Structure 1
Amino acid sequence: MSRIDFRLLLLIVALNAVTADRIKDMIYMSVDGVAACFRRHNGTHQFGCSSSRGGSVGVIQILDGLDDVRWLESNATAESYMIVMPISMFTQNIIDRLEATNIINGILVTKNVSEENPSSYSPEATCPNKYSSHKMCDVNKPWNPLGNNFLLKDWKFPIFYIENNDLVQKIKDCYYKHNAHDLKNLNEKSLCALEMQSFMSAAVNSESCIRRSQNILYVHSLRFCDPLGDRNIHWPLSPLTNETKSVTLVMARLDANSMFDGFAPGAHSAVTGFVTLLATAYYLNSLNATISDTNVLFSLMNGEAFDYIGSSRFVYDLERGNFDALAAGSLKLDSINAIIELGQLGNSDDKLYLHANNYIGNDLIGELQKTLSLENTTIPNSVPPASIQSFLAVRPNLTAVVIADHGDQFTNKYYGGILDNNETIGLNRNELNKTLANIAIKLGDLLYEKVTGEKPSSGNSTVIEELVTEMLSCYLISAQCNLFQAASSPGVKLSNQLFSLYVGVNGAPNIATIYTAQLLALLTGEKLPEMSAQECVDHRLSWMSGYNFTGICINSTVTYTPAVSPAFIIDGYLMQSGLYSTWTESVWQSLSVRMFLKPSAAAERLSITLGSVVAILSFIIVWFIKSRSELLFEQTRTAENC
């Protein structure tokens, strides 16, 4: 009998669980495909967004224009609101007005793919990386004049971003059905509401959250934040040896920034630069240069959006003789004779500038000016927010230049944001592909002449232009492209989405970094068609799909080095010193948005009242039964005694 009762009990529990799930699904509608604003820290502050621990809730309020903002300021009656607004209204002025109401519990920023982009949207600071720059930014004439500083703001409520038009329409339908028709009496009826869950574990600053993570009082190991960081990518034109007298460093940043998790396209700010570097490396490798005393090192720096994480670590290792990833002998900082950095190169008028430092008398830079017609657009002693900042900080006399499409102010109106994408850069312009290919070829020719002392034979510009076109497509339209497929292992299926260029946290695999390194190896490595897959692996070489997707062995000198700030490897480093990047990212449990129908205030009061009455009656009944137990249960006890 007890076994039957136990089975019945299990059945009841299971039915209750299923019923509970069904009820939950009936109450809540999950808003999928959202990207959350999350929290980051440096040595002194916290930035970004977090919900309350149990999630932030508010009544939906659609903002379509300034009239809706004015209504919130003067006529709002609900206790808290969840704002649903297009990205065109996500501006400094409107946000300041909303925050002043003190009734905003969260914001859902929407982007309709059919709508035109706003004229500008840059959440970066007007002076990017201003606290870690060798040469300070002029606040009266900043590099990024359109920046609204949203990335360096400590938001008091959660913010999410969505591009799913169908889900946005469902939210609007719910709003217009339940909320919009009687805005003056919102407290008297059930209302459509949103719940945002994005609670961040870390707080205050990097030093505080790291110290909490190391607290020995916790029984289990707990992490509250992780250092930002990944890996730099390097490829020498020829393997470096102790006989190499000088090295010309060609570099570009690999990462981009964004306010929302998973959205960091970086089309103008990063992709144009490193795609040009990859094309230059491919072209120079195809010329089969014979190296003598001078070599060329191509480097992609990661984490540059966060106080130059990758380049500062590169310089740190070079200074201490720890950069030995490329050959038997380690590369020294003194061996670098010049740095050419490829910056933002996506301007529609295709005009180029040369931000030059200590370049007078350097033959390579002089030829670069002539070849790219930069004599009249060279800006002496100009140091934009770029990786050369890290090198000039320790070697102020080093020849270092940045090739960019801007003068003393950025032309990129979407710098550091989710709209720095293929649309705003004008990916369909043939001029963009031709411009980048032209830079790659001319720079490659100059580098060839630098290392060999001879003029190169004319290259095939069509091939380079086609390569640039395909690489831009891979990084800005879909990673499901032939180049990435060729650089993958045979049989690997790529997702039909973009790689986020956000640097991420140290130790977490960064798919964009991995595929970029594999692509560079494919473009510059030695093809070994006679080797089988097993032989390739046994010799510790790279087995890739190849251009025909059947598999080929690649012998490449492409390598990784850490792109983790020295601040996290130096014992007792003072986080407030500002010498090295101290950026960390908070740990979180879940990021989600749900929509539901929130009961009216009257219904909530009725529920509380009924609940209280039931509780009081229960206490009275229990007290009554207990006080009369001898009379009520006397017959039962008598029967038991017999």
Structure 2
Amino acid sequence: KEKIYIDLQTQNACFRVLNATHQVGCSSKSGGNVGTLHYLESEEDYNWVLKSGPHTPYIVLITSLDFRKDNVERLVNTKRVNGILVLNILNNQSLSPIPTEGFSADKSCPNDNYGIYSNSSDYQHCKKVKWNAAGDGLYFKDYHDFPMFAISNVTDFNVLVDQCYRKFNKPINGTARSFPICAAQLNDRMDAAKDTITCIRRSNHMTNLKQTRYCDAMGDKNIVATTKMVDKSEQRLNKSVVVVSTRMDSFSMFEYEYQNSDTTVTGIVALLSAAKALRPVRQILQNASKDLMFTFFQGEAFDYIGSSRMVYEMEKNSFPYEIKDDVKSSQIVKLPSISHIIELAQLGHRDEGKLWIHTDPISRGSGSASEIEKMIKYIKDIGTEENVSLDDVGPDQPLPPASVQRFLKKANIPAIVLTDHKQQYTNKFYNSRLDLPDFINASYPDDLNETEKYDYVTEQAKALTHVSTVLAQFLYKLTTGEDITPNISQQIQADELEIAHLLYCFLENPVCELFKQSVSPEDSDDLTKKPFPFYVSVDSNTNQITRLTHSILAQYLGERLVNSTKDDCKQPDSDKVCHFILYNYLWMEGSIKSGSSDREGWCIKSTAILSKAQSPAFIIDNYDWLSEEYSTWTESVWSVFKVRVFLIPSESQKVLTFCVGFGILLVSLVVLYLLSISADILFMSAATSDSQPS
């Protein structure tokens, strides 16, 4: 087998996801799709594949510039093409140049049907602003029996181009090469089909007492932490919680290709940094009139999975836990408990040199108007003091796609969304594998080693330091009601080096000191040199981004228990009179011991918890799947992702091989026949010989 096939390293397949009405994405045929490999370097190559080339069907290798919706559909619709390989060697611009006009496989109006404006004649379908101008909706097309893979390393490229295409397939002076020709086989067969409703029904059907899963609900965990601990014996007043949030997820056309520098990482880093900046005033915050709740949502790219689940649980009086008589727990948070919401979206650019404050025009036309105006004034004034230019987009422009829309659908809450764009996204690679650190000034000089990169303060790190400082001081103002004095301003300052570390760990190399000290001993081997995926995936496991963000937030907001071991890093015995879930205890590796390669081990006590980020659609009895109230996204189950190349002989060679094989078979049958009819003579002679006396 190894002499016949060359298996490529790539596992980066386009795969299938489903909602209540459609299947989207890619799937190969059951045995994989096979075709003659052709590298599309020019329009002449396209004409060859689409019109004149004799060795159909083809598997085509295309550049990142050519991977556009119009081009993909031209190749799919011809019926002469059986699959696509996309060059995605991001550290080699000559092989994978970046399209200057941008690329986003998301829609131009993301999450359109699930936000606050879904039924608004004034604002629905992005009537006022097409937020994602680069979005062509490629991700949401169905490519049935048509696989696509990304080629992300030079080794695979060399096999495909040098050992396969140029050696055996590339036409010479417009003439097709003679056999043998080199073919590729693409296999990413998906088990689920049609839509989520059909898939769940099939998965719930028992065959021979065995249940087979065909798809899984998308989802993961939200992260929630408060600065105050309010247990259930205390009262949580209305309008007593300030919520500050961001999202953790994105998507891409290909598995394992989830670069999300501006889409998600800038918001995650800014919110974590703001949490740490507030540590010096934690005692003041614990006695403040309002609680501060840090929230990181998962699954937001797929119709607001995480925020929808949180709002649903708040409405059911079960967030963050369902109150039980025999459990001592924190007091629930309801929608009326929330006084303000601040959401961080994309923060990596500066449209017109500013960050922009977005608000909901419907809320500004209601009783929340005066409070929203105060929020805008407070944060702009703090920004002025910290040399951060902020501006308001105005009262008539609707909110961009944001988690806060799910809250505003259910309650009238003063809310702002902080972004790097005034109208359409400044990020031309939103929800894309091309959302790279280079485009937000978060890349590194070529002559730095990994240790030097870890401590290198990029221009983006400097910019986010100022943003995090403004945010932290603004949150202090909202929760305490106190002005920012020079003394408080001096205490609440984001750490530039810590932000540099966060950017390096999330975007460049997870095998970094911050992540090493933040993981549990069981997870330490999971750290890899390639950035972790920001795709939400399915609900069965908590993904690495969520676990790491949770651990870091716990460190920043919680306390490290001294002289604690792994075995006693849990609720104290004195708290076991009844069940006790006020605090969460995390054991993590910690920093390296002085003069040793061993790590200290830290026990962190904090309010940081993980809550469900699975759509309520999957837990509501007899849910109306077509209502568009909640996300219905599932991910198909699959068995294998594989790309391999091999040689196909000519028809005459095939016939010759068949004839030789058939001839050998006939000769073998004749020999067996002759042996069979002569068996009595042959074996009798042997038996007679054996029976002669010696």
The two structures have a TM-score, normalised by structure 1, of 0.89
Which position in structure 2 is the counterpart of 1:600? Answer: 650
| Residue 475 (structure 1) aligned to one of 499, 506, 511 | 506
**1:418 pairs with 2:418:** no
Q: Which of 355, 358, 370 in structure 2 is aligned with 1:355?
A: 358
Q: 1:578 to 1:320 in 2, by over 3 A?
A: same
Task: Answer whether contact 1:250 1:339 (CA < 8 A) is retained.
Answer: yes
Match 2:312 to one of 310, 316, 320: 316
Match of 1:268 among 254, 259, 262: 262
Give the match for residue 147 of structure 1. Answer: 135
- 8 Å contact from structure 1 (residues 191, 599) kept in 2: yes
Matches within 5 A, 1:374-413: 374-395=390-411, 397-413=412-428
Residues 383-415 of structure 1: per-residue CA shift (max 9 Å, x gap): 2111012112222x3222110011221111111
CA contact (8 A) 1:77 1:184 kept: no
**What's the counterpart of residue 18 of structure 1?**
none
- 2:294 aligned residue (298, 312, 319): 298
- Partners of 1:256 and 1:92 in 2: CA distance: 19
Alpha carbons of structure 1 residues 341 and 140: separation in structure 2 relative to 1, 3 Å: closer
Q: CA deviation at 1:356?
A: 0.7
| Per-residue deviation, residues 215-249 of structure 1 (Å, max 9, x unmatched) | 12244221110000000000101113443321111
- The superposition leaves residues 411-464 of structure 1 with CA deviations (integer Å, 9 ceiling, x where unpaired) of 111111111121232214844223222221112112212222333412368752
Distance 1:461 1:541 in 2: 26
- Closer, same or farther: CA 70–638 of 1 in aligned 2, 3 Å: closer
Indicate how the Cα distance of structure 1 residues 140 and 523 shifts in structure 2: closer, same or farther if over 3 A, else same: closer
Aligned to 2:114: 132
Change (3 A) 1:129 1:463: closer
Task: Name the residue aligned to 2:476.
Answer: 448
Q: CA RMSD in A?
A: 2.7
Write the distance in 1 (CA, Å) between the matches of 2:162 and 2:32.
Answer: 23
Residue 161 of structure 1: how far off its partner (Å): 0.7
Contact 2:180 2:650 in 1 (8 A): yes
Residue 316 and residue 144 in structure 1: after superposition, are their counterparts in 2 closer, same or farther (change >3 A)? same
The offset of 1:508, in angstroms, is 2.0
Match in the other structure for 1:210: 200
Q: Are 1:137 and 1:143, in contact at CA under 8 Å, matched by a contact in 2?
A: no
Q: Which residue of 2 aligns with 1:343?
A: 345
Shift of the alpha carbon at 1:31? 0.5
Q: CA deviation at 1:611?
A: 5.6
Match of 2:5 in 1: 28
SS of the residue 1:458 aligns to: helix
| Gapped regions of structure 2 (runs ≥ 5) | 118-123, 323-328, 384-388, 444-456, 573-583, 593-598
Q: Which residue identity lines up with residue 341 of structure 1 in the other structure? A: E
Counterparts of 2:538 and 2:40 in 1: how far apart (Å)?
35
Partner of residue 53, structure 1:
30
Q: Which amino acid aligns with 1:152?
A: F
Contact kept? 1:39, 1:46, Cα under 8 Å: yes
2 CA distance for matches of 1:634 and 1:274?
86
Matched, 1:255 2:249: yes
| Counterpart amino acid of residue 542 in structure 1 | L
Structure 1 pair 633–526 and aligned structure 2 pair: CA distance change class (3 A):
closer
Secondary structure, aligned partner of 2:278:
helix
2:77 equivalent to 1:100:
yes
Q: TM-score, normalised by structure 2?
A: 0.83
Amino acid at match of 2:87: T
Q: Tell me the distance in 2 between the aligned counterparts of 1:239 and 1:328.
A: 7
Q: Residues 374, 411 of structure 1: CA spacing in aligned structure 2 closer, same or farther, 3 A cutoff?
A: same
- Once the two structures are superposed, what CA deviation does each residue of 1:300-319 show, in whole Å capped at 9, x if it has no partner? 00000000000000000001
Is the contact made by 1:253 and 1:300 (CA closer than 8 Å) also made in structure 2? yes
> In the alignment, which residue of structure 1 is the partner of 2:579?
none
Matched, 1:517 2:553: no
State the Cα distance separating 1:602 from its structure 2 match: 3.1
Q: Distance in 2 between matches of 1:88 and 1:332?
A: 48
The match for 2:539 among 502, 506, 526 is 506
Corresponding residue SS for 2:354: coil
Distance 1:26 1:103, change over 3 A: same
Conserved 8 A contact 1:355-1:403: yes
> 1:546 aligned to 582, 590, 610, which one?
590
Partner in structure 2 of residue 580 of structure 1: 630
1:560-617 CA distance string (max 9 Å, x none): 11000001001121222211101001111111111111222332344455566777x5
1:186-265 equivalent positions in 2, closer than 5 A: 186=176, 188-241=178-231, 242-245=234-237, 246-265=240-259
User: Within 1, Cα distance between the matches of 2:187 and 2:547?
Assistant: 31
Equivalent residue of 2:495, what SS? Answer: helix
Which amino acid counterpart does residue 606 of structure 2 have in structure 1?
S
1:306 aligns to what SS in structure 2?
A: coil
Q: For 1:463 and 1:299, locate their aligned partners in 2 and report how far apart those are by CA, in whole Å.
A: 19
- Give the partner amino acid of 2:379: L
User: 1:41, 1:584 within 8 Å by CA — same for their partners in 2?
Assistant: yes
**Mapped contact 1:441–1:459 kept (Cα < 8 A):** no
Q: Using the aligned pairs only, state the percent identity.
A: 34
Q: Is the contact between residue 274 and residue 494 of structure 2 (CA under 8 Å) also seen in structure 1?
A: no
Match of 1:486 in 2: 517
- The superposition leaves residues 266-294 of structure 1 with CA deviations (integer Å, 9 ceiling, x where unpaired) of 11111111211111111123322243431
Please name the residue that 1:532 is paired with.
Answer: 565
Question: Residues 405 and 378 (structure 1 numbering): CA distance in 2 closer, same or farther, change over 3 Å?
Answer: farther
For structure 1, the residue ranges without an aligned partner over 5 or more in a row are 1-23
Kept after mapping to 2: 8 A contact 1:353/1:378 = no
Give the 3 Å change call, closer, same or farther, for CA 98–140 of structure 1 in structure 2: farther
Deviation digits for residues 106-143 of structure 1, max 9, x if unmatched? 11111232214221111111111122222123268421
Q: Which amino acid aligns with 1:366?
A: K
Q: Distance in 2 between matches of 1:58 and 1:621?
A: 40
Of the three residues 92, 105, 130, the one matched with 1:114 is: 92
Q: Structure 2 CA distance, aligned partners of 1:563 and 1:298? A: 15
Q: Partner letter of residue 338 of structure 1?
A: H
C-alpha spacing 1:244/1:369, structure 2 compared with 1 (3 Å): farther
Q: Is 1:368 aligned to residue 379 of structure 2?
A: yes
CA distance in 2, matches of 1:584, 1:258: 16
| Range with greater deviation from structure 2 (260-269 or 204-213) | 260-269
The answer for the alignment partner of 1:17 in structure 2 is none
SS of 2:359's equivalent?
strand
Q: Deviations over 1:494-537 (max 9, x none)?
A: 32221111101011231111111001111111122232333224
Q: 1:183 to 1:222 in 2, by over 3 A?
A: farther
Contact 1:438/1:461 (<8 A) preserved: no
Match of 1:6 in 2: none
Instruction: State which drifts further: 360-369 or 263-272.
Output: 360-369
Is the Cα contact below 8 Å between 1:325 and 1:560 reproduced in 2?
Answer: no
Distance in 2 between residues matched to 1:150 and 1:368, nearest whole Å: 38
Contact map agreement 1:126 1:142 (CA 8 A) in 2: yes
Specify whether residues 187 and 215 from structure 1 end up closer, same or farther in structure 2 by C-alpha distance, changes over 3 A only.
farther
Q: 1: CA distance between counterparts of 2:41 and 2:221?
A: 43
